[in-house]
Structure 1
Amino acid sequence: MDLVGPLPRRRATALFAAGLLAAALLPATAARAADTAPASLITSPGYSGTAEAVGPGLTLLTYTNPEDDRIVQVLRADPDLAPLTVESTTGAGGALAETTTQMLDSTTSVVSRRPHAGVNGGFWTVQRGNLAFMGVSVQEGVIQSASCAVPSRAEAVLIQHGRPYISQFTTHLTVSAPGADPVALDGVNRHPGWMPGCAQGTGATADRSAGGGIFTDASEIVAFTPQFKAPTPASDGDPRFTEDDDPGAEAVVGADGEVLSLNPDGRGGTAVPAGGRVLQGTGTGADWLRAHAVPGTVLTLQERLRDERFGDDIPLDASVDVVNGHYPLVRDARYAYTGTNVKVDPRTAIAVDGPGRTLFVTVTGRTGRDGVTLDGLAAILLDLGAVDALNLDGGGSTTLVVEQTVRNRPSDATGERAVADSVYIGYGGYGLYATP
């Protein structure tokens, strides 16, 4: 396998460091000999790889086969070689999707400090014009979407102090009023009544009449944060769901927890105050708001983020971001995919390898829509030396941006798709203490 292909002479010095990575790029067949992963695409006959130094500590690996339209691209970031930091962003749009390129550009007005590279992030959908995450989302320590209620569906990547960590994270959200027991907040920044992708909260049930992957709950309290950046939704958001027909009730809560106003007979069209929340209730959730969210009352909102892998809570502060995924692909350097999805599609994954490097991996077609199965993606990640890896949103969302340029071919006919969030490699990191 030709790991270093023809490249401009001016990059020869930088590629010396890339050459030192060659051992890490070789197939990890022995490491997965006892696993059930299929053969890896990048080690199949006809495939070869090249390594391109795209910046300090950054190497772009590209695997192609002249007889196959698929292309595997791997952005490897090594924080030991340069001050690099992993971050995530939802961009400036809030409830509106943006392209990964737009999100990365909006992280700073200083062009020279824009992120080196990024990929599209977690799973999401559109609810009557506004996006909603299909799982947990945390931005700068504030929960922007509740997790799937079932821990086995709560896979995500936590990003803290510039490093990613992949596990299962569940959110635990409550609101309480003086003299009343706490009640659950079922969701964040989505329509009350129904949720796509996975059940959230405590009372959701699958609604098969509305199609696969839809869950409904007639009694909920849902919170909206300032990052929603849109008026709160009104009832009857979708004619398929009678649970959403309930006009419910809506309370506006200030940054100090004080209830600023209460609409006992309806909801929607309200701006979230800076630092505050808007609470929407339906069914018994609306009854609770009518009884306890009286203007002038101080409500207490509590948020917890739990790491199900180790059974402890993650303190929520401004250093914490979380991006949801679905299906762990590699765990502890072992094949970990347990799903039944055999669809061939463009794919995006994030991974960490043994030395602590971060990998962004995309598999797309060079001239048309193409990709791999999820177990095929897991096999690629194992051969790249991944210790932990998570599948992110794919299909038309799959996008790899390097130095403000989209490096893969998005499968949508219109080009790069607008998405809900992105993960990126930016400037930063931690230096080492100088020794005398």
Structure 2
Amino acid sequence: MSRRTLAGGLAIAAAITLTTLPAIAEQASVRFPSAKFPLGSRSVPTKTMTNVARGIDLHTVRAGSATDGYTVTILMPSGRDYGTLSTAEATLAEVEATGETPSLQKVIRPSVADAPSQTVYMVRVGLWSLKDKTKAEKAAKKLKEAGLKVKVDYLGDDGLDTTGPWDAKVAMIDSKTFRGSYVASLGTSVAKREAVSSMAKARKALVGVNGGFFNIHTSPALRGEPVGASVVGGRLLSEAIPGRSAVVLRGRSAKITELETSVTAVSQDGERAEVKGVNRAAAVDELVLYTEEYGAKTPTGGSDVVLDANGKVVGVRTSGAAVPKGKRVLHGNGLASDWLGLHAWQDYTIEVVTKIVDLRTKKTVKLTPDLNVIAGGVGLVRNGKVKITAKRDGHDSMNMILRRHPRTLLGTTKNGSLILATMDGRQPGVTVGANFVEAAQFMRWLGAVHAINLDGGGSTAMVVGKKVVNKPADGSERAVGDALLVLPD
């Protein structure tokens, strides 16, 4: 065998291709599909169904079998496990110099709706079965002692051809018989992360899943902040990232779309200023709005103007304090602080004008008490076709598009029913999760004509009643930024 194929006879496909699925027929109600499982060898899945409440069925779906094993991947000088052909060949030579027999693997990340395909190369050593991980770890240790940077990889995580297995939970909520409602929850505050089960318990939810991505790049005390639009009970609690996917919830209707938000402070003297953010850390010269749901102190090093429910300035203070109950705070630093000093005097009125626009319809979304919004991670399906908008939604990397991870997925059917699904992953031999293409195929198979990816990985969780029904990748439920809750009537 050539040294440029994986040792041990491992055969790995170079790319994923989109599986052609049958057209989705109009349905009188949401029903679990009778077609074969859309991934792997397309076998007949095993499934069990439990009726949660009127109009809500929970399905446990299992398919595939474990045939993937382990290999040792050599890291490139960049620290990544892949690189260009020339970089990979240089790395290959380094491994050969240690006396080992490496292999060069070509990997093609598939194209998506807004990003072209990408070809990269990996350098790997050896192949071991699922039960022989310790042997792979010993080989990795030997390579490390030779001065190489390496890691042990389970091949099911790669995102290339696999036989599975897959383990998913699917909640199907029938628009014709369900009489409850859908809401968003940020838990006790925007800044604080909280478990889905805790948020579900507080609202006595029938079903709950984790929501969108939260900001892991801010201060640890503020990492519950959603990345993208968040509306709870008609109150904008986090601004949108323009054009990114979101799900708009109103009563028992759910709509997947893209949103844009704007917030403007208008002083009674007629001067206007753009409010750059809502309930997040402020950058230089930014004006940021904080609501009582924030749950943290405003940033230091600027000025705060406290507004009552009618927009009257009831306090002017140095920043760095909590938001009083029933009040809002406009915070500014630098030029924004100067604007507040000139146009937000004690007893002035500051009108805070908030606007949300649905970018598909170009219409304004009214901020009524029954409105809730959760930011999606990536668009997957639109009008019944796979349409993965990874670049627009900020996730056009090899890791996010090709690699398999646990997924939390949301879809809507032609008749307005809602599908919530979790695909567990990162559990070798038990369940492999899905990449974006597979997640899109899975949601189409379930009957979704529109679908998005929510946060995933260790955040993936589904709660039914008081119980977490999936198996989170971290081994236990993770605290997250927000959740989508299905409430009884």
TM-score (norm: length of structure 1): 0.76
Paired amino acid for 1:84? G
The higher radius of gyration belongs to 2
Pick aligned residue for 1:88 from 178, 184, 187: 184
What do residues 326-377 of structure 1 show as CA deviations (whole Å, max 9, x unaligned)? 2111111111113242221110011111222111011103956841101110
Q: How does 1:180-329 map to 2 (within 5 A)?
A: 180-193=270-283, 218-234=284-300, 247-263=301-317, 266-268=318-320, 270-329=321-380
1:25 maps onto 2:66 in alignment: no
Whether 2:199 is the aligned partner of 1:103: answer: yes
Secondary structure of the structure 2 residue equivalent to 1:365: coil
Aligned equivalent of 1:393 = 455
Aligned: 1:136 with 2:229: yes
2:486 to 401, 425, 429: 425
Residue type at the aligned position of 1:326:
G
**3-state SS in 1 of match to 2:411:** strand
Q: Does 1:55 align with 2:53?
A: yes
Of 431, 439, 442 in structure 2, the residue corresponding to residue 377 of structure 1 is: 439
For residue 257 of structure 1, report the CA deviation from its aligned partner.
1.0
Code of the residue aligned with 1:65 in structure 2: it is: A
Query: Which amino acid letter does the alignment assign opposite residue 123 of structure 1?
Result: F
Does structure 1 retain, via aligned residues, the 8 Å contact 2:307–2:329? Answer: yes
Report what 1:345 is aligned to: 405
Find the residue that maps to 1:290 and give its secondary structure: helix
Aligned AA (2:465): E
Letter in 2 for 1:418: A
- Contact 1:88-1:424 within 8 A present in 2 as well: yes
User: Which string of whole-angstrom CA distances, capped at 9 and with x for unpartnered residues, describes residues 244-287 of structure 1?
Assistant: xxx22221111121112223xx421x222333211111221111
Secondary structure (helix, strand or coil) at the match of 2:423 reads strand
Q: For 2:282 and 2:479, how far apart are their aligned partners in 1?
A: 24
**What is the identity, as a one-letter code, of the residue corresponding to 1:330?**
V
Distance 2:59 2:201 in 1: 24
The 8 Å contact of residues 367 and 409 in structure 1, kept in 2 or not, is answered as no
Counterpart residue number, 2:171: 75
Which of 238, 254, 258 is the equivalent residue of 1:145?
Answer: 238
Task: State the distance in 1 between where 2:418 and 2:41 align.
Answer: 21
Amino acid at match of 1:228: Y
Q: What secondary structure sits across from 2:215 in the alignment? A: strand
For 1:267, the aligned partner's letter is S
| Conserved 8 A contact 2:408-2:456 | yes
User: In the alignment, is residue 407 of structure 1 matched against residue 415 of structure 2?
Assistant: no
Give yes or no for the alignment of 1:155 onto 2:245. yes
Give me the whole-angstrom Cα distance separating, in 2, the residues matched to 1:42 and 1:59.
25
Residues 273/306 of structure 1: CA separation in 2 closer, same or farther (3 Å cut): same
CA offset at residue 46 of structure 1?
Answer: 6.1
1:42 and 1:293, CA in 2 relative to 1: closer, same or farther beyond 3 A?
A: farther
| Contact kept? 2:184, 2:484, Cα under 8 Å | yes
1:3 match: none
Contact persistence 2:212–2:226 (CA under 8 A): yes
SS in 2 for 1:410: coil
Please give the secondary structure, in 2, of the residue aligned with 1:52. Answer: strand
Q: In the TM superposition, what is the alpha-carbon distance from 1:300 to its structure 2 partner?
A: 0.8
Secondary structure class of the residue paired with 1:273? coil
Partner Cα distance (1:278, 1:21) in 2: 46
Distance in 2 (CA, whole Å) between partners of 1:305 and 1:65 is 41
Shift in Å, 1:65? 2.8
Change (3 A) 1:52 1:316: same
Note the alpha carbon deviations across 1:4-54, whole angstroms, 9 max, x for none: xxxxxxxxxxxxxxxx979651349xxxxxxxxxx9328723643333323
Q: Distance in 1 between matches of 2:426 and 2:487?
A: 27
How many angstroms apart in 1 are the aligned matches of 2:319 and 2:426? 47
Q: Distance in 2 between matches of 1:103 and 1:70?
A: 27
In structure 2, C-alpha distance between the alignment counterparts of 1:98 and 1:167, rounded to whole Å: 26
Q: CA deviation at 1:60?
A: 1.6
Residues 192-242 of structure 1: per-residue CA shift (max 9 Å, x gap)? 01xxxxxxxxxxxxxxxxxxxxxxxx22100000111222233xxxxxxxx
SS of alignment partner, residue 412 of structure 1: coil
With structure 2 as the length reference, what TM-score do the two structures score? Answer: 0.68
CA distance change for structure 1 residues 82 and 258 in 2, over 3 Å: closer, same or farther? closer
Q: Tell me the secondary structure at the aligned position of residue 231 of structure 1.
A: coil
Listed one character per residue, the Cα deviations across residues 376-421 of structure 1 (whole Å, up to 9, x for unaligned) are 10010111110111111111110011121111111114x1001111
Q: Distance in 2 between matches of 1:84 and 1:301?
A: 32
- Residues paired across the two proteins, number: 350
Aligned residue in 2 for 1:165 = 255
SS in 1 for 2:271: coil
Task: Tell me, yes or no, if the aligned pair for 2:229 and 2:240 is still in contact at 8 Å.
Answer: yes
C-alpha distance in 2 between matches for 1:22 and 1:359: 9
**Paired AA for residue 312 in structure 2:** E
Structure 2: 5+ residue runs without aligned partners?
A: 1-27, 66-163, 391-395
Q: Tell me, in whole angstroms, the C-alpha distance in 2 between the residues paired with 1:75 and 1:366.
A: 22
Sequence identity percentage:
29
1:178 aligns with 2:176: no
- Contact kept in structure 1, 2:289 and 2:331, CA below 8 Å: yes
Cα RMSD for the two superposed structures:
2.2
User: Counterpart of 1:278 in 2: which secondary structure?
Assistant: strand
TM-aligned CA deviation for residue 183 of structure 1: 1.2
Q: State how far apart, in whole Å, the 1-side matches of 2:348 and 2:31 are.
A: 63
Which amino acid is 2:305 matched to? A
Task: Report the alpha carbon displacement of residue 84 of structure 1 after superposing the two structures with TM.
Answer: 2.8
Match of 2:477 in 1: 416
Structure 1: state its 5+ residue gaps: 1-19, 29-38, 108-113, 194-217, 235-246, 429-436
Whole-angstrom distance in 2 between the partners of 1:315 and 1:85: 18
Please report how far the alpha carbon of residue 82 of structure 1 lies from its aligned counterpart in structure 2 after TM superposition: 3.8
Amino acid at match of 1:296: D
